Amino acid sequence: MLTNPVDHSRLLSLDFLRGLIMILLVLESTGIYWQLIQSTEGSSAHAFFIQFEHHPWNGLRFWDLVQPAFMFMAGTALAYSLNKQTLEGKSWWQQFLKTLKRCGWLFFWGVLDYAVRDNGLSFELWDVLTQLSFTTLIAFLIYRWSPAAQIGFSIGLLILTEALYRFSNIPGFDQPFVDQHNFGNYMDLVLMNKVNGGGWVAINCIPTACHTIWGALAGKLLLSNRTRPEKMNTLVIAAIVGLITGYLLDITSITPIIKRIATSSFVLASAGWVLFALVISYWWIDIKNHRNNLKFFLVVGMNSLFIYLFIEIVASRWFNGYIGALTLNTPFVTSLVLFALEWGMCYWLYKQRIFFKV
C-alpha cells in the first residue's frame, strides 16, 4: 500500500515518450513509411526503413516496440495518476471506480475502432485500446502489492500464456508458434467467430499486461524517495534482465520472439528496450534538464487519446482520402500535409488547454 505518497511534478520524460510514440503512429497513418519502404527496395536504405513495419512472424523490429511502449507508458502514467489521487485524499474505492470507468471507455473506443466495415458492423478485440482496457485494470488491482509480488504475478501471466499455447492440444490449433494454428487463433474463434489473417490474437492482453504492470512499477520507483542514481540503476538492471532473458529464449528455440501472439520472449525483450528508452529520456530530460524543443512532442503526447482515435476512425475512413484528392494524390506531399494538419490540430488543442481524457 502506498501510505506515504510523494508530491512530484509531472514527469516530462513520460509526456515526451508518449508524444514520440503518437508522432510515430501519426506518421504511419499517413502512409509515409510504406512509401519509403517501397521506394527504397533493393537499396541499402531499405534495411533501415523496413524497421518501420511489423516483422511478419519470428523476429523483432523497431515497429514491434511501439505498442509495448504505449502500454508500458500507460502503466507509468497510472502510477502518477494514483499517486495524485492519493494525495487528494481519494479512497481506494474511488480510485477503483475511476479506473473502471476509464477501462470501460477504452474498451468502447477500441471496439468502435474496428466496428464499422464495408460489409457491415463487426465485433473485434484486436485494437490496442481494447487490450489496454484489460491490462490497465489488472495493473490497478495489484498496484498496492509489494514489487516482488507484482513481478511474481506478471511472471505468472507469462507462464500461464506458455501453458495455454503449449498444452491446450485443441485439434487444428495445437501448434503453439504456428500462424493460424495456435491457441490464440482458437480463442479468437470462440470470442469473435473469426481469425485474424495477420496472425494477431485478442488474448495478447494476458501476456502484455506485464508491460502495463512493469510500467506502473517503474512509475512507483520514479515516485519513490530513492536517489536518482538508484532509480536509474534499478531500471537499467531490469532492462538488461529483460533483454537477455527474452533473446536467450528465442536463440535457444525455447520460445521464439513473435510479436503477433506476444510470446513471453517478445514481452521480455520488448520491455527491455522500452526500459532503456525510459532511462535515457528520464536522464536527459528530468535529470539533465534538457527541456528545450520538446513542445513538438508534448502537444501530441498530452492529447494521445484524441489523435489516436482521429487517425484510426476519422482519418483512415475519409480524411486521408479527402486530403489526398486535394494534393492530387502525390504520395509524399499528401503524407506531409496530413501530418502537418494532424499535428496542427493537437497544437491548437494544446494552446486552448483542451485535453481529451477518459
For the stretch 18-58, pLDDT in tens is 999 999 999 999 999 999 999 999 999 999 999 999 999 99
Cα 258 to Cα 14, 158, 255, distances in angstroms: 27, 14, 9
Centroid of chain to Cα 38: 26
pLDDT at residue 248, rounded to an integer? 98
- Determine the average pLDDT of the residues in 198-207: 97
Three-state DSSP state, 53: coil
Closest CA relative to residue 222, chosen from 186, 171, 275 = 275
Q: Which residues contact 277 (CB under 8 A, 6 or more apart)?
A: 17, 69
**Which region holds residue 196: left if phi is over 0, alpha if psi is between -120 and 50, else beta?**
beta
Q: With the CA atoms of 105, 110, 111 and 117 taken in that order, what torsion angle do they form, in degrees rounded to the nearest 10?
A: 140
pTM score: 0.94
- 152-176 per-position pLDDT tens digit: 999 999 999 999 999 999 999 999 9
Mean pLDDT of the 251-268 span:
98
Max mean pLDDT range (119-133, 141-155, 301-315): 141-155
Is there a contact between 271 and 210 (Cβ–Cβ < 8 Å)?
yes
pLDDT per residue as tens digits for the range 278-315: 999 999 999 999 888 899 999 999 999 999 999 999 99
